[in-house]
Chains A and B, each alone.
Chain A
Amino acid sequence: MIEVKNLEFSYGPKSVLKNISLNVSEGNIYGLLGENGVGKTTLLTLLCGLKKPKQGTILVDGRNPFDREPSLLASQFFLPDEVTPVHSSAIQFAKENGVFWPGFKLDQFLSILAEFEVEQDQRMDAMSTGQLKKTWIAFALSCNAKYYYLDEPTNGLDIPSKAQFRKAVTKYTAEDSTLIISTHQVRDLENIIDPIIILDNQEVLVNAGMEEISSKLFFDYGNQIQPGALYLEQTPGGCIQVYPNTSGEESKVNVEAFFNTVHAHKDLIKPMFNLK
């Protein structure tokens, strides 16, 4: 369980996060969405203990992540957007680093690597950006951590690799594992993320599951334009409209349309999801 209370962080005089409060429950794959510069990466680095909050508290299983206690570090993995090209082969890297995570399985690493079509003996500093990212993803998922903080994990991956990533995440993470995935590529991860956290300038706009979202908003994929739509997007096959769900009818949430709806109607959406 991750509890964030009144979190504040700034880079010098520039405030990035202000009065952020949210709870992250176990066993979910959270999608952390937001425009550029709203503080998604900053929030992830605060959660994993790479940064110290200026104000407020973060508790991960009741412990402060900035203390960087080995027992907590061994239960989490932070994957940055830009991964480091290590001067060793993929398998050597995994063997050297894996010893620190009690749940690490080398055979799992090799399986994921094979699924990603990356050679285990290839030197990491000679890999392409995509191959390097896939190696790090394979390592992260082999650690069998309880908490994963993944920053733009699909950046730099080709189209098949994105599908393989989704498959690997669902296949290789335990049911009680919690993943927080920061991404701009919502379509890449639409089918695996639930709940969704939307960050806006210094605040959390939404922290809700797909069921809750679809119970409150209706996503209409038909051709008939509704006058009360909060959001309307023309697509080649018709259009996507989002409006308040007054009938209680279920619909498939389109994360991108939802994100745009939230941004266009912040004052309406926030109280709808009980965030004041």
Chain B
Amino acid sequence: MNDNFNFNRFLTYFKYDLTQMWRNHSKAAILIGGAGAIFYILWVMFSLVFTQQWQTPTLPARFVMFLFAYAVLELYQVRTYGHLTEKKAGSSWLMIPASKTEKFVSMLLVSLVVVPLLFLAVYAVLDGFLSLVDPTYGKALFTSFIGTYSEVLDAFAQMKGTYAIHLSPATIVLTTLAGFFCNFMYFLLCGICFKRNKLVCAFAILFVFSTVLSLIMGFIMPGMLSNLNGVDVSEEMVLGWTQGIINFSVILSILMTIGFGWGIWYRIKTLQH
């Protein structure tokens, strides 16, 4: 028997993991996915009560609501596998005959693919439905979003050759994905590392990290800026720095994603009950 990775055993385990996810977390994912529809109902209700007019949320408001729901889903990652550190939830997960690699891969698929897709599907379906039945609602959010996103991509594509910034569509997609994986994996890791107050601990680390980073930047920046004294800063230089910052943030996100992935794997490997 292959004790590292067996595809059939992985499929069996993934199916089991999906069942557990559906049983324990689908309601939350659906509820968060329904946030847009709830927002719509509340908006209409309030407008009817206070202005006696049928008013629906504006596109920017709907977009902000979507970002808010997405942020809540991101934070919810501390709960998806949070039971692993809770003794009252039992030790079954650790004792199920599947390898650590299989459990790791399944955990990532459920947390980073299945749960977000479920959320997006519910959000998109409800949003699309509202767009169909209510003419005052406007275009579906995702249609507008994809349109705006394409415009941004086109704009960057046109910049190529004109300015120093070379942001290919692939880079933008990569940046978006790296940010998504990085954030989701951070909260997932916090969920399986801390036994209590998982979210508080996750934010505490972020706070400490950002404070330390600010302090470091506070020491570095004056020195860097003093080098610019008397230098005529051209547009080209600014664009060059911007390019550097973008490249750095993409690399940092990728490195952090790898780091969080390793952290999750190591936690699974060393978890004790």
Contacts and interface: CB of A to CB of B under 8 A. Distances in A.
B91 A80 contact: yes
Interface in B94-147: 94-100, 102
Interface in A17-57: 45, 48-52
Interface size classification for chain B? 20 to 34
B89 A99 contact: no
A50 B99 CA distance: 14
B163 interface: no
Interface in B61-120: 88-92, 94-100, 102
A50 B91 contact: yes
A96 B97 contact: no
Contact of B98 (A49, A83, A96, A100): A100
A74 B24 CA distance: 25
Given A70-B1, A100-B97, A78 B23 contact: no
A165 to B, nearest CB: 20
Contacts of B16: 96-97, 99-100
A12 to B, nearest CB: 13
Contacts of A76: 95
A96 B270 contact: no
Given A50-B272, A84-B92, A100-B12, A70 B98 contact: yes
Given A70-B3, A87-B23, A45 B90 contact: no
Contacts of A99: 12, 16
Contacts of B148: none
Nearest to A93: B92
B97 A70 contact: yes
A69 interface: yes
Interface string A81-108: 0111001100000001101110000000
B96 A73 contact: yes
B19 interface: yes
B6 to A, nearest CB: 8
Interface string B260-273: 00000000001011
B99 A52 contact: no
Given A68-B100, A70-B98, A96-B19, A83 B9 contact: no
Contacts of A45: 91, 273
A95 to B, nearest CB: 10
A97 B92 contact: yes
B89 to A, nearest CB: 6
Contacts of A88: 23
B90 A69 contact: no
Given A52-B272, A87-B24, A96-B16, A73 B90 contact: no
Given A71-B1, A84-B92, 19 more contacts: A45-B273, A49-B94, A49-B95, A50-B91, A50-B94, A50-B95, A50-B273, A70-B9, A71-B3, A73-B98, A78-B91, A87-B23, A87-B24, A96-B16, A96-B19, A97-B92, A99-B16, A100-B13, A101-B97
Interface of B: 1, 3, 6, 9, 12-13, 16, 19, 23-24, 88-92, 94-100, 102, 270, 272-273
